[in-house]
Structure 1
Amino acid sequence: MCLTYVKITLMYLRLLTLLFLFFTVSYCETLQQSYTFKEPKIFSTDLVSDCPKRFEILQIPDDKPTYRINAQIIAKTYELNGCSVDVGRVRYVNFIKETALDVSPLKQQLMDVFISTYPTMIIQKINVFPRGYIESIPENSKAVLDRDITDRNDGTFYVLDKSGIRRYFDFTLEASLNVLHSSQKINRNDILTTTNSSQKLVRFTQFRGKPLSAIPSDRQRFRRSLRENIPIVDRHLEPLPIVLRGSKVSVQVQSGLVIVEFIATATQEGALYDIITIEKSDKKRAKAKVIGENRVELQ
């Protein structure tokens, strides 16, 4: 009897613990790598606007226009106050004092680059943060961007100040993009069509290659097999050869001004100007150069 009572008591305690955690721990989204501040006292809602509780995170010294703190310390502070926050890939959080610095031209330059790369991209927000305290930059400053700046939704760039010194900025991008996905299992050498692909609106983060928003005008085939519901990027595809193995080809033989044509079978695939092997009607094989779609020239 006593043992049964103890078991029931333990069950109730576990249930109460779970209920306590459920009602007291609230999820407060993801930390960013950089924040600007006006007042040195930083509160929970300054970092995550929809956090249900407002409590002090830290006090930045008055003489510090920039301040850096381990992201895990901030996460622990949220936890001690009954909230949780995801640090993601952020190791340190930077706080930079607000200035009259106008970064809107830099935001526009970033937007233009992303839209140029992804014409169907829907940009919700671009955040730009100086790395350190910067009072001003020259008017009409041009952002110097890496070639792969559009591969992901965050990164770093710089502008040159009046003295020619590089001033670095971090940015984050919140955007959506229509991306082709495999709608079924894809085998190597399958041709990309509307049957095996479909368009989906996804959050833009990072892709291993340039994602496709539509089927290219020139026919493409898959370099490799894909599972269903995989985003299709440029490295998955290659142009479809203009001569396929097993296809009938028109073979040209030129002798002076006379051109003779006959039909043969391609035993190899080939792109323009490739040398492939063909099989004649008498089963003899010969080399031929690809000169057009299903057209070759005997060598």
Structure 2
Amino acid sequence: IVGLVLGVLAAAIWFVVAEQLSLGAAESRSGGPALPEPRIDAATPTPEPENLPRQPAAVAAVEKPRIARLQESDVMRTLGGILAIDRIPDVTRMGWPTLRSAYPSTALLNAMREMRETLAKRSAANAAPVLGMIGADTGEDRTIAALNFALAAARDGARVLLIDADHATHALTNRIDGYAKREVNRLGWLSFGTKASSAIKTANGISILPSFGSSRTNGAIRKAIAQARSAGDYDLVIVDGPALPWSAEDRELLDLADGLAAILPTNLDINDCMETIIAALDGAEHKLTGVILSELHPVANVTQRKRQYA
């Protein structure tokens, strides 16, 4: 399994590098001899189907993780905090890069759809599939990817519950802090923290359940996931986090997920990041349904440049 994941990752990295090299070559020269097409040696005998070795069922059931590239061309950026539409928060105005709405079919969106299809196959019948977003980076890349994954699913008509399970940075909760505190004051923490129905509804078809406190809230998150699955109010549940390193309670929370997506920022050493994630999974690599290569510029750097030119 580890070799499979690393092989898929290596192929993704090579694809990115090859694309960059091909673009550079196209700019430096206008033409040249065509590269020879790879050919299959006709003399090589093809084994008969009945003579092929049978793969164990467990190996055959494991699908390769889908690869998605989140690029600057896929997103738009806004400045400032959340702006509301009729007092309802809009996730595209949170100050984070979010998917453009003008392109319903892109390589990124199609890859995300394939991840959701794989996730649906792994989940129980008549229950909302649960996707855990994990990453080795301490920045906001994982949360931004989780938000955009939720946004892509919502634009396809899915009812999405996005849960902030990062008790260390709770970046998502910080972005909706005012709305979250208002709901806590209205419902009370005990009611708010254990009910998926108390999640903050946005103008984009996404409901957000914030994080308030330490890893003790993992129990509340597990109850919220169970409620979301049984009530039938959502078509997809996305859990943002927890952040590495994982505690025993964090692992119990991730065990509830039907699949996991690893977020790898390309401004870091993605090989090191992937090795860290695989080591943390400790034998659960088969749960990886996708790998998202985040090629976005860091939010802080982009914001600083915009302020300089404002």
Question: Where on the TM-score scale, by shorter chain, does this alignment land: which range?
Answer: under 0.3
Which structure would you say has the larger RCO, counting Cα contacts within 8 Å and 6 or more residues apart?
Answer: 2
**Larger % of strand: which?**
1
**Larger % of helix: which?**
2
Which structure's CA Rg is the greater one? 1
TM-score normalised by structure 1 residue count: 0.21
